[in-house]
Each structure stands twice: as C-alpha cells, then as structure tokens.
Structure 1
Amino acid sequence: MKELEELRTQIDYVDEEIVKLIAERLKLSEKIGHIKASNNLEISDYKREESVINRWKELSRLQGVPEALSSKVIEAIIPFSRAMQVLPNEKKSVLIIGYGNMAQTIGRLVSYAGHKVMLSGVDPIETRKIANSLSVNAVGEEEGFREAEYVIFTLPPKAYYTKYFKELLKFGKGKDVSEISSSKTKTFPLFLELSKKFDFNYVSIHPLFGPMLLPIGEKIAIIIDNLEEVSVKKYVEFWRGCGLSPVSTHLEEHERTMAVTQSLVHFYMIALIKAIEEARNRLGKYDEGLTTTNFSEMKKLLQKISEILPVILEIQEENPYSHEVRLIGVRKLVEVAEALGSRCTYSL
C-alpha cells in the first residue's frame, strides 16, 4: 500500500506540472492575441491549428500515448487558447432582444469580450432568469434602448411582423440595430424600410454557428448591401473584437449559399433521422453495441439537429431556394440508389 501511495503522489505532482504548463500555454496565447490585434489578424488560424493537432499526434506516437487521448486534450485546449486572444476594441453597451439559445450564446460572447450586455424580452421573469445565468443585466425594452449603442434582435422571423416588435423600434432612433435571421430575403427589406421610418442604422448579421458556450473563432456574416465602407469596417472590427471571424457578403450571395450549406444539408439530416428510425424498426434485432464510431459521431450531430428543429424548419420556409435544392437532393438520392442497384419507381 505504501508503494501505491507513493505512485499516487507522483501522479499528483505530474498533474500539477501539466496544469502549470497549460497555464503557461494560455499566457502565450494571450501574447499572440496582442500581436494579432495590432496586425489586424483573425483570431482563428485554421492552418496553424491543424498543424498543432498533427504535431500532437506525432508526439503521441513517439511517446506511446494513445492518439485518441492526445487529440481530445489538444482539441479541448485550442478553444480556450482562442478565448485568451479576445481583445475587445472600444467597449459598447449592447442590448439583446430575446432570450433563446442564440441570444444566450451571443450575450455570453459579447459579455466575455468586455462589453456591457443587457437582455430584454417579452416575458420579464424568463428574461431575468436567463440574464442572471449569463451574469448580465435584465432591463425593460425602453430602458435598454435608451442605454444601448447596439441593439441585436434574436427573435423568430414571424416576430418581426408583430405589434410588440414595431412598438420597440420607436425607441431605436440613432442606434445600430441588427437581426440574426438565417434567411434574409424577407427580413432584410423589412428592416431596411423600418430603419428609414424610425431612423436607426441597420446592419444585418448571420452568426454561422449554432448555440454553444463560447463561439470564439467561428464566423459571422455581415450583409453589406446597404452599408457604406466606413460602416462595414466598424461592424467588422466590433465582431472581430468579440472573437469572431467576420465575412462580408451580399444578400443574394448569402441566400444562395445558405440554400446549399443549410437548407440542403438540413433536408438530408432530417430525412436521415427518420430513415434510421424506420429502418431500425423494420429490420428489427438492432444492437446498439454494434454501432461504428462514425455512426456514433453522426448520431451526436443528428441530436443537435433535433434540438433546433423549429429553427431548421424556419430556414426551409424562409429561404427562397430551399425548394429547388430539396428537389436536387431527392433527384441525386434516386440516382445514387439506382447506381447501387436499387430500382426506384419514381423520378424527378
């Protein structure tokens, strides 16, 4: 037993050294953040991250450490290294309207970057609950608009046609105002018209990520059709200072791209969820213990899709090219099935 205790003491020492080294690594990441900020560089450097991950794998092989273990360790460290590089520009007062998952993700991110974040919503009790969980202030709409420099709407598309929404905008004069809709075909012209009526500065943004703890290093689209160059620069700098990688784009380019990267992919995923369930029931004798690694990873992704299904259905409805890409998707499935020897009794 004495030998066991001695070995455990050695392990405790090694653990302490590991934590010290991680702390030192994070300090170095912070210094890198200052250099990137002074040179106007993005926080995320995917080539560098890939190189680091590959180097960890190589070092693991040399040291006899399981590659799966080392991969998990470095993949856990990298997001925190990104977080250490977040250096906000001039601090702003930001009002977030809504308290859903994306409101929480954006609120957490903007607050982490050092800005003053306020949360407001139609239900004061729920607003206060979510605000407390984010350690930000819950405020009434009028108070929030009065104090905020930047207002971000995170409401479902249908909410932008309600009396509640229109009443809010009367407080928006002179403010920077954004919405985060995944499809902009309807919301963009609506907000543009309202910005002229209520005299606010409109910038349409689309976070290219879903709900998560801290989306540092992820991308955010900025629609620039209605913006002057100086305004584009201001919003790019704000979101880059929050740790995101801004991508400037035009409305039509955005909608067509999202039809492929969202509408088509989500369509296949929804179908896959239903197909797995039906195939499992029809074939019977299904053994969870026999699932492959790839299938297990896919199931995790499909679970995320299931959790945001209402948002996905909104995207299918709002994007004007969703119908077209769904038809393409079905046609290609038929072609692949026939190429694999299945006889399909229908064609598109």
Structure 2
Amino acid sequence: MTGGDAAEALRSSLLRIDRSLVSLIAARLNIADVLGGVKRSEGMPVYDRARELTVASLLADEARSLGVPDSLIKEIYFMLARESRCRQLYCPEALRVAFYGYGRMARMLAGMMSHGGCWVAITGRNPEKAQEAARAVGARYMEPRRAIDWADMLVYAVPSTAVPELLREHLPMLRESMLVADIASVKTPLVEKIALLLGEGSPEYVSLHPLFGPLSCPAGENVAVVPVRLEGWRPRLEKLFTGLGLNPVYVTAEEHDRVMAVNQVLHHLVYDLYREAARILHEKLEIDPGRSKELVTWSLKKTENIAARLEQLHSVVEEIRRENPYTEEVFKALSQALQRLAEAQAGDS
C-alpha cells in the first residue's frame, strides 16, 4: 500500500468516527428534548450550573485517563450543554408579554419567550418596524393601546431616557394586576423617576438588566433585578426565569450602577482607548495596515472582535456612558492608572 493509499484509508476511518459522533450528538439532543418536557411538567430549572460543572469535571478526568486534552472535552461538553438548554426553554404559565420596542435585545428576548411557549407581542411607535420584528421572532404585532390592554407583562425595550415619559403616557391604561419592566443598562436616574410616577393603583414595576448582548440563546446567563415595586409578581417572575434558564441577581439601583461603572463603562472605555491609541500609533509609526494584519497575535484577534462588536453597539455604549452616575470616576481612574503605569515604566528604565 502506498503512502497515499494509507492516508486515504485513515481518512476514511476518521470520517466514519466523525459520522458516529454526529449520530451520538443527535441522540444526546433527542434525550435533551425529552428531558425538557419533564422539566416543563415539573417546573424544574432549565439551567443547573452545579450539575454541569460536576459532569464537566467527571468527563475531564476520563479524558485525561485516555490521554485526551481535558480542555477540548470541556469545550465540547459546554457547547452541547448550552444547545440542550436552548432546546428546553419553557414558559411556566400562559403568560402574555408585550415588548414596547423592536431593537436587538427586544427581538432576542421576545424570540426566546415565544420559543418557550409564552404569548408574545411586539409594539411601538413605528408599526412597520414592530411588524417586521414580530415576524422575525415568531411573535405577533399589536398597536400600543391594544398591546397594553392585552398584556400581563409590559416590557419597555427602549433607551432608558424614553422610559419615564412612556410610562407617564401609558399609566392611565395600565392595570394594577400587570407587571411593568424595563431592560435599561443604567438604573439610578431611571428608577428615581419611575418611583415618583408610581402611585396608588399603579402596577408593580421591576427594572431588569440582561447581563448579556443579543445572543442567539442566553440560557444560563444572569439578569440583574432591581425591584422598584415587586411583591405579588416576584414568584411568577422567578418561575419565568427558571423556565428561560436565566439567573436573577437582586440588587439595588445604586449598587448596580457602581458595579456597572467597572463592568461596563470601564470595560467599554478600555476598548475605545485601544482603538484610538492604535489609530494614533499606526499613523505615527507609519505601520502598513496589511502588514499589521499579517502579524496579528491570537489574543489581539479576540480583542479586535470584541472592539468591532462594541462599535456596532455604539449608541448603546454611549447611552451607558452618558447615563451612569459614576462615569466621571471611571475617567479619573483610567487617568490615574495610566499615570501609575507611566511612572513604573520610567522607574524601570
């Protein structure tokens, strides 16, 4: 047998194994689908982090015993686990949810709830955009007044600065039995205004912050929950999170914004700082763009991907930076950090 024949025979063996892997994955997902039905009927959580970590550790031990990289096995397992979660989403009750807004986050959350069996409507000032969004995610379109009258839960998926005025406009139409929510990324200024608007007979209100971008399926991710007025609706909301595989993190508006000053404002600014400094240096050092791409490192590729994604979310990033009450402190901290690093560099030389 020639070297070429041997290689072809081995490739055929690899293909047979790969096809077997595909069959095994299909079988696993089929079982996950059945398990999803059990979770739905029993009200069980879609996401069980402790179990996933235990299984990942078990598989990693087995991989090492067979001489297989445990990091590879963990990566494959968590990908399969995420896919399984996303196939198991469910709405724990016949909940009617109306989204006022039709951006990426509204579409993602509406699609997720619709996939899980909730009744979902999308509405807004622009009927054409709302209709298009509804078609895209398998929801229905309703004009605003009808959507408010129909919904058990109304979610404002608009810029935070627009929420108070919308709530003021809609309050006469809202029922005390409803839950009203927003998904704004900055809480303190918004929650203060909302609290002033809510009076006797007003519906309960919760300010949510999904701590993820518009992912294809965020099951397993965290959601910050600021309970402006959340009593009767709290257990229903928690059951909804359970069915959607989301983890609620209860927090005050003030603590949320302090943490997000670091986890969002600073994070975004660092990438902006990198992009701006890179532009300056490319020009000053006369770096050829083509050569720069040829010599890019693996870690820089990841940085560039995140920077490009944040560039696409420019309006959201700007809103977070503008509205967070601690943004000025973030700029001061960045300046201090740069000064300290410069001093340390000067001291080393």
Once structures 1 and 2 are overlaid, which stretch shifts more, 177-186 or 333-342?
333-342
Offset at 1:240? 2.2
Quick one: distance in 2 between partners of 1:245 and 1:160?
24
1:118-133 matches, cutoff 5 A: 118-133=121-136
Please, which of 221, 224, 237 is the counterpart of residue 221 of structure 1?
224
Offset at 1:307? 1.0
Equivalent position of 1:315 in the other structure? 320
Give the partner amino acid of 1:215: P
Equivalent position of 2:235 in the other structure? 233
Equivalent position of 1:17 in the other structure? 20
Matched residue of 1:114: which SS? Answer: coil
Offset at 1:50? 8.4
Is residue 292 of structure 1 aligned with residue 265 of structure 2? Answer: no
Is residue 26–residue 81 contact of structure 1 (8 Å, CA) maintained in 2?
yes
1:8-87 matches, cutoff 5 A: 13-30=16-33, 34=38, 43-45=47-49, 48-49=52-53, 52=56, 55=59, 59=63, 62=66, 73-87=76-90
Q: Percent identity?
A: 26
- Structure 2, unaligned stretches of length 5 or more? none
Can you list the C-alpha shifts for 1:3-57, whole angstroms capped at 9, x where unaligned?
A: 9998887666544422221123224445666569958657151783486289469
Offset at 1:315? 0.9
1:1-348 matches, cutoff 5 A: 13-30=16-33, 34=38, 43-45=47-49, 48-49=52-53, 52=56, 55=59, 59=63, 62=66, 73-160=76-163, 162=165, 166-174=168-176, 175-196=178-199, 199-228=202-231, 230-283=232-285, 284-285=287-288, 286-341=291-346
The root-mean-square deviation of aligned C-alpha atoms, in Å, is: 3.3
Can you list the C-alpha shifts for 1:94-125, whole angstroms capped at 9, x where unaligned?
A: 00010111111111111122111100111111
Is residue 236–residue 246 contact of structure 1 (8 Å, CA) maintained in 2?
yes
Quick one: distance in 2 between partners of 1:289 and 1:54?
40
Offset at 1:334? 1.4
TM-score normalised by L of structure 1:
0.84
Is residue 216–residue 244 contact of structure 1 (8 Å, CA) maintained in 2?
yes
Matched residue of 1:287: which SS? Answer: helix
Once structures 1 and 2 are overlaid, which stretch shifts more, 9-18 or 240-249?
9-18
Can you list the C-alpha shifts for 1:154-178, whole angstroms capped at 9, x where unaligned?
A: 101232355x664334322222100
Quick one: distance in 1 between partners of 2:200 and 2:70?
62
Offset at 1:76? 3.4
Give the partner amino acid of 2:272: I
Give the partner amino acid of 1:287: S
Can you list the C-alpha shifts for 1:199-229, whole angstroms capped at 9, x where unaligned?
A: 222111111111111111111011135333x
TM-score normalised by L of structure 2:
0.84
Quick one: distance in 1 between partners of 2:58 and 2:295?
29
- CA 186–276 in structure 1, closer or farther in 2 if over 3 Å, else same: same
Quick one: distance in 2 between partners of 1:127 and 1:289?
43
Offset at 1:296? 0.4
Can you list the C-alpha shifts for 1:307-330, whole angstroms capped at 9, x where unaligned?
A: 111111111111111111221122
Matched residue of 1:186: which SS? Answer: helix
Quick one: distance in 2 between partners of 1:309 and 1:237?
34
Is residue 43–residue 243 contact of structure 2 (8 Å, CA) maintained in 1?
no
Is residue 100–residue 122 contact of structure 2 (8 Å, CA) maintained in 1?
yes
Is residue 108–residue 214 contact of structure 1 (8 Å, CA) maintained in 2?
no
Equivalent position of 1:346 in the other structure? none
Offset at 1:146? 1.5
Once structures 1 and 2 are overlaid, which stretch shifts more, 10-19 or 236-245?
10-19
Quick one: distance in 2 between partners of 1:161 and 1:201?
15
Quick one: distance in 2 between partners of 1:242 and 1:289?
43
Offset at 1:299? 0.8
Is residue 60–residue 67 contact of structure 1 (8 Å, CA) maintained in 2?
no
- CA 39–241 in structure 1, closer or farther in 2 if over 3 Å, else same: closer
Can you list the C-alpha shifts for 1:63-102, whole angstroms capped at 9, x where unaligned?
A: 678976x676445323202223434311301000101111
Matched residue of 2:209: which SS? Answer: strand
Can you list the C-alpha shifts for 1:117-137, whole angstroms capped at 9, x where unaligned?
A: 100111111111111111111
Is residue 100–residue 123 contact of structure 2 (8 Å, CA) maintained in 1?
yes
Is residue 120–residue 127 contact of structure 1 (8 Å, CA) maintained in 2?
yes
Quick one: distance in 1 between partners of 2:70 and 2:59?
14
